Structure 1
Amino acid sequence: MQVSLFIPCFIDQLYPTTAFNTVKVLEKAGCKVNYNPEQTCCGQPAYNAGFWDEAKIIGNKFLDDFAESKYIVSPSASCTGMVKNAYNDLFTNSMVHNQCRNIQSSIHELSDFLVNIIKKDYFGAEMEGRAVYHDSCSALRECRIKEEPRQLLGNVDGLELVDMRDQDTCCGFGGTFAVKFNGISSAMAEQKVNNALAMDAEYIISTDTSCLMHLQAYIDKQKLPIKTMHLVDVLANGWGNV
């Protein structure tokens, strides 16, 4: 199966290893991965800040960067949710209405694609430790993803996955929310991390690097004995370049 890879600007600039691991996991799943180097952003930062005209310009480029007939896979529920949902505000009844609808039906967050489309949930991953899973707002509410990441993590040898309190509560990032309401945002991160520590977790795992960056910043500032990891980095752990 051929898939087009969408690497959000956030991952491209700050978490390139997660991007490379996405390719590794997809290839191990039997996919031929195509990457268009001209791709940039889905337009979410501008859209969330209220600059819809600018978001529409970026969104139009996104629609042109990807083929309508191929699956589009991304290691970001946040950006996937932007395309699947917010593009309705930008492109409904526009000249690219049908093109947008086709792209919306083609794009999938990674865990959704692996579990529901190609029906693969085991990759020979190994990682010793105890972990909790954080349901990002975008994954849970925009992409309707809940059990898929847990199913994949359940097949990681050596990893003990436990539930924490309020695992589906926002981490406090929310893009510009973290800037405009820093005190509230930090308190939400504190609560999330404390809930993970209460379960003696060594790792907080999620589908969104934005959430993980926010939580890791709090962890680093407080010098706490816990680490954040993206789902795909866990799936690629233990088998290297095999």
Structure 2
Amino acid sequence: MKVSIFSTCLVDLMTPKVGIAMVEVLERLGCEIDYPASQVCCGQPTYNSGYLEDSKLAMKNMMLAFESSDYVVGPSGSCVAMFHEYPKIFKGDPDWELKAITLKEKSYEFTQFIVKVLGITDVGASLDGTATYHRSCHMTRLLGEKETPFQLLEHVKGLHMEPLKNSDNCCGFGGTFSVKMPDISEQMVDEKSSCVLDTGADILISADMGCLLNIGGRLSRKGEPVKIMHIAEVLNHRNPVIAKGGSQT
């Protein structure tokens, strides 16, 4: 199965290890990976800020970048959800509406693709620790995906999951929202951080790096040693095998 990677801006520029983890998991599951080099931003930041026509330039570029792809998989429900908005944005456009529909129909968030397309819930991962999971707003509300991350985490050996209070609440990032409304955003991330700490978890997992960078940054400023991990990193993790004689392999 051929899969094109949609890296997203945050992963590409700030946390490339997440992209590497995603690729390694998909390759281990038998996928043939490519990376269209002409991809750029999906257009979401400017679109959400009201710059529709300017955003369309980036959107058209993305439709062309992935035009020959069989499947498009990204490590962000938020960014993939933006692809799913393209048909509405280009509705009635004789040159771009069909391309927008085609991209939407073959685009999946990482965990969504593994469970719903590959039909796999156990990828052979193992990670010792106690974790909690933050649902991102766009993945849950816009993409409509609520279950696949939990279906995969349930099969990670050694990992104990604690439920997160007010899990549907926004962390306060919201892309440009955190820049335009910093005081409100700070209160929101404080509330989310407190809920994370209340779980007693030593790992915070999510499927969107924007949320993780926001919550992780706040926890770090508070001096709280909670590790943040994108779910791709969790699913790519394997506990070392202890060989006879006590050495790790």
TM-score, normalised by the number of residues in structure 2: 0.93
Q: Is the 8 A contact 1:126 1:156 kept in 2?
A: yes
Return the offset for 1:22.
0.8
Return the offset for 1:67.
2.5
Structure 2 unmatched runs, 5+: 241-248
Alignment of 1:55-134 (within 5 A): 55-67=55-67, 70-85=70-85, 87-94=86-93, 95-134=95-134
Number of the residue aligned with 1:198: 198
Q: Is the 8 A contact 1:124 1:156 kept in 2?
A: yes
Equivalent position amino acid for 2:87 in 1: N
Return the offset for 1:101.
0.4
SS state at 1:73 partner: strand
Alignment of 1:1-242 (within 5 A): 1-67=1-67, 70-85=70-85, 87-94=86-93, 95-238=95-238
CA distance in structure 2 between the aligned counterparts of 1:25 and 1:200, rounded to whole angstroms: 28
SS state at 2:81 partner: helix
TM-score, normalised by the number of residues in structure 1: 0.95
Q: Is the 8 A contact 1:77 1:109 kept in 2?
A: yes
Equivalent position amino acid for 1:93 in 2: G
Q: Encode CA deviations 1:134-159: one digit per residue, 9 max, x unaligned.
A: 11001101111111101111111111
SS state at 1:119 partner: coil
Q: Encode CA deviations 1:89-126: one digit per residue, 9 max, x unaligned.
A: 43111121111101110000011100011111222211
SS state at 2:78 partner: helix
**Number of equivalent positions:** 240
Larger Rg: 2
CA distance in structure 2 between the aligned counterparts of 1:199 and 1:5, rounded to whole angstroms: 34
Equivalent position amino acid for 1:64 in 2: L
Q: Encode CA deviations 1:66-98: one digit per residue, 9 max, x unaligned.
A: 02561111111010001102x234311112111
CA distance in structure 2 between the aligned counterparts of 1:207 and 1:89, rounded to whole angstroms: 25
Structure 1 unmatched runs, 5+: none
CA distance in structure 1 between the aligned counterparts of 2:8 and 2:75, rounded to whole angstroms: 8
CA pair 67-169 structure 1, distance change in 2 beyond 3 A: same
SS state at 1:112 partner: helix
Q: Is the 8 A contact 1:219 1:227 kept in 2?
A: no
SS state at 2:200 partner: coil
SS state at 1:3 partner: strand
4+ residue stretches of structure 1 with deviation over 6 A? none
Equivalent position amino acid for 1:15 in 2: T
CA distance in structure 1 between the aligned counterparts of 2:83 and 2:63, rounded to whole angstroms: 9
Q: Is the 8 A contact 1:124 1:239 kept in 2?
A: no
CA distance in structure 1 between the aligned counterparts of 2:175 and 2:204, rounded to whole angstroms: 19
Equivalent position amino acid for 2:23 in 1: V
CA distance in structure 1 between the aligned counterparts of 2:58 and 2:239, rounded to whole angstroms: 37
Q: Is the 8 A contact 2:4 2:69 kept in 1?
A: no
CA distance in structure 2 between the aligned counterparts of 1:214 and 1:239, rounded to whole angstroms: 28
Q: Is the 8 A contact 1:2 1:31 kept in 2?
A: yes
CA pair 12-131 structure 1, distance change in 2 beyond 3 A: same
Return the offset for 1:40.
1.1
